[in-house]
Chain A
Amino acid sequence: MKEFLEGSHAIAEVIKSCQPGVVSAYPITPQTHIVEDLAQMVSNGELKSQFVNVESEHSAASVVLGGSAAGVRVYTATSSQGLFYMQEVLFNIAGMRLPVVMTCANRAVSAPINIWNDQQDSISLRDSGWFQLYAENNQEAVDFHLIAYRLGEDKRVMLPVMVCMDGFILTHGMETVDIPEQEKVNKFLPAYKPLYKLDPENPISLGLLADPDYYMETRFVIQETMREAIGYLSGISKEFSDVFGRDYKDMLVEEYRLKDADKVIVAMGSVCGTIKEVVDEQRAKGKKVGLLRIISYRPFPYARIYEALKNIPKVAVLDKAVSLGAYAPVAADVKSLFFGKKKSPKVISSFVGGLGGRDITTETIHEVFRRLNAKEANFDFVDLKPELLKEEYGE
């Protein structure tokens, strides 16, 4: 059913249709509206979940860990400091192979404290064993939650999934969204049947101490599962489009006007809407530009991106996060995949933008295309204000 509504409300609606048994969260801007809506739904009896109001994000993540281990579908949502506060629990959830689903309302991290959007929070957790899917708009954000449960709960997978949506831009943005009907959700997403669970009928121990004789293999099998899941995603996406009529292809990347392009921007999330606008405008003027949008950041679809970019002469990666002291995170991944390959872009430049909510405008995108030239950029930022960078200390 098509509705014009706030992104957070749309997420709450789709989570309601997934019928999690346990929901637990702790408030942090810009995630709050999602969990407030869910609390209201539980309060009205529309959603038959146990809503556990915890005293911290560490406990929110621990509660959904416990709920999932006890065999029910679970949900949580957070942002920024909250995500970081969850960190050790998130690694733990993945290590225990629990198919928890969470929304990350992407937000900058302190210091200085800043509640606005960038993607530093989730990107910093890229090594945790969680899938990370980045939505461009609210329809995708909604749909990706359904795909997230299907993917995570797949018996071949059994891993947690994070749906990343840009804070404020999407969470607080009003858009028309097709809210999936319950019947269709039931068809696409069957009730959760755990592979194993905490149950007195069949007592098992979870979370054992693994010494050097056993630990490595636990990591290796998650790595293998992640790699295999690159293939499972297209199957799940096909089933999704059969039921809902929206086709996300392989769910790994979106190629936007890449054919014959000589300059391409690689990016993730809502900024891709702005990039598409500029690409269309440039194409209308005969300029050969395009966009490669990454949807699945973890697992990182190396082969798919290689195929998409191998014949593109100049590539700019636009990161909304930094790895201080090193190449920007997505740029580093893209650069590394071409090492030693037969075909490769001549230039892969890296630009960091939109940190702490600085608006990425169509002019920013024009600027990225302009600066994408023969000279490779490696530590460039866009939209910096030189007047704020003047040295003010000294004698």
Chain B
Amino acid sequence: MENSPLFKSGHTACAGCGQAIAARLVIEAAGANTIVANNTGCLEVFSTKYPETAWGVPWIHSLFENSAAVASGIEAALKYLGKKDAVNVIAQGGDGSSADIGLQALSGMLERGHDILYVCYDNEAYMNTGVQRSGLTPFDTNTTTSPIGSLSSGNVRPKKPMPEICAAHGIPYVATASAGFPQDLIRKVKKAIAIKGPKYIQVHVPCPLGWRHESNKMLSVAKAAVETGLYPLFEYEYGALAARRQITPKPVEEYLKLQGRFKHLLNNPEETKKVQDIADNNIKKYNLKLETQAPGA
């Protein structure tokens, strides 16, 4: 890949980091006239170690949980200066900073109607601090704070429904995306940027270290999550489901078997069935199944 002027190479992300690729796609889709506020987390740490920065756009990191509020202040200042129409504002952070500790600030930003795109890079755990579970860690995931043991098969709860929580604010646009589907991600970012008001995009970004898969398998792991129905790709507009990517569902084992964090499920049909139920539920809820033509019709 050629070097991007907006997110330059040379940063210290792990090989195969889904978040690094997604962050670059997001800023390239948004363009140079963009100001970014970033939460604490892997992305901030690997892209801006003083005295270097990967960012070719104005970029600010304040704290772990406040990028939505910092971005609100930036947007307000741009409005005051009469420059808001010329400049995009993006707030971004990991799943932990967005869905847990920063949820209040994010909700405030959505509710107040700021013209900001919020991007949540969902690697499904607190990676920067060593793979602890977050509110977006999937059911039965083995993490350092939801370890498997004789009494546990990992994280006890399914993912917090963040897209729905955001959509319930009645904002113009909510979408899920995946590092495994770059064109789809770019399209969604461009679409979001063109809409005035608060927007939320949650991007599934594999983490080879935390998910324990080979670093050259990033794309196939990301794709498998979508193709099994475990990470449905959809769009909400003004609170109503507007579009989804349809699939020919694969069994969840196709996804689970690629990653060390789910290894304990492989010879456990009972637990695997519970994960399959989550996928089936998504497939039904979002109507993900591609209609096959009825024979003879």
Contacts and interface: CB of A to CB of B under 8 A. Distances in A.
Interface of A: 21-22, 24, 48-50, 52-56, 58-59, 62-72, 74, 88-89, 92, 96, 198-200, 202-211, 214
B95 interface: no
Interface residues of B, number: 44
Listed from nearest, the 9 A-B pairs whose CB atoms lie closest are A66-B73, A62-B69, A55-B108, A70-B77, A207-B61, A63-B73, A59-B69, A50-B76, A66-B70
B66 A69 contact: no
B113 to A, nearest CB: 11
Contact of B70 (A63, A72, A88, A202): A63
Nearest to B114: A52
A317 B62 CA distance: 38
A70 B56 CA distance: 16
Nearest to A72: B77
Given A55-B108, A69-B60, A200-B87, A209 B69 contact: no
Most chain A Cβ neighbours within 10 Å, of B44, B48, B78: B78
Given A66-B73, A198-B35, A208 B80 contact: no
Contacts of A72: 77, 80-81
B112 A53 contact: yes
A69 B62 CA distance: 10
Contact of A70 (B55, B57, B74, B104): B74
B157 interface: no
Contacts of A205: 48, 53, 55, 58-61
A214 B73 contact: no
Interface string B53-95: 1011111111101101111111111111100000100000000
A50 B66 contact: no
A89 B60 CA distance: 14
B53 A54 contact: no
B57 A200 contact: yes
B107 interface: yes
Contacts of A64: 73
A336 to B, nearest CB: 32
Contacts of B79: 50
Nearest to A22: B76
Most chain B Cβ neighbours within 10 Å, of A48, A56, A65: A65
B33 A65 contact: no
Given A65-B70, A198-B74, A209 B45 contact: yes
B73 A74 contact: yes
A78 to B, nearest CB: 14
Nearest to B67: A62
Contact of B104 (A56, A66, A200): A56
Contacts of A71: 77, 81
B62 A92 contact: yes
B290 to A, nearest CB: 41
A55 B73 CA distance: 13
A54 B108 contact: yes
A232 B44 CA distance: 36
B266 interface: no
6 contacts: A50-B76, A54-B108, A63-B70, A65-B66, A70-B78, A208-B61
B56 A209 contact: no
A202 B77 CA distance: 17
Contact of A56 (B33, B60, B73, B108): B108
B108 A204 contact: no
Contact of A66 (B48, B50, B53, B77): B77
Given A50-B79, A205-B55, A70 B63 contact: no
B112 A22 contact: no
Most chain B Cβ neighbours within 10 Å, of A58, A66, A72: A66
Contacts of B107: 55
Interface string B91-111: 000000000000011011001
A205 B34 CA distance: 13
Nearest to A56: B104
B37 interface: yes
Given A62-B66, A70-B35, A200-B32, A21 B61 contact: no
A286 to B, nearest CB: 58
B49 interface: yes
A54 B77 CA distance: 15
Interface in B149-208: none
A67 B79 CA distance: 10
Given A50-B79, A200-B87, A62 B73 contact: yes
Contacts of B74: 66-67, 69-70, 198
B69 A199 contact: no
B116 to A, nearest CB: 10
B91 to A, nearest CB: 9
B185 to A, nearest CB: 22
Nearest to B91: A66
B295 interface: no
Given A62-B69, A207-B61, A214 B76 contact: no
Nearest to B87: A200
B58 A209 contact: no
Given A22-B77, A52-B76, A207 B69 contact: no
A59 B114 CA distance: 14
B108 A59 contact: yes
A206 B59 contact: yes
A207 B73 contact: no
Contact of B50 (A54, A62, A88, A209): A209
A52 B107 CA distance: 14
A206 B61 CA distance: 6
B169 to A, nearest CB: 12
A71 B34 CA distance: 15
A58 B73 contact: no
Given A24-B73, A59-B108, 12 more contacts: A22-B80, A50-B77, A52-B73, A54-B112, A55-B107, A63-B69, A66-B77, A67-B80, A69-B70, A71-B81, A203-B56, A210-B50
A66 B37 contact: yes
A63 B78 CA distance: 12
Given A50-B77, A55-B105, A208 B49 contact: yes
Contacts of B108: 54-56, 59
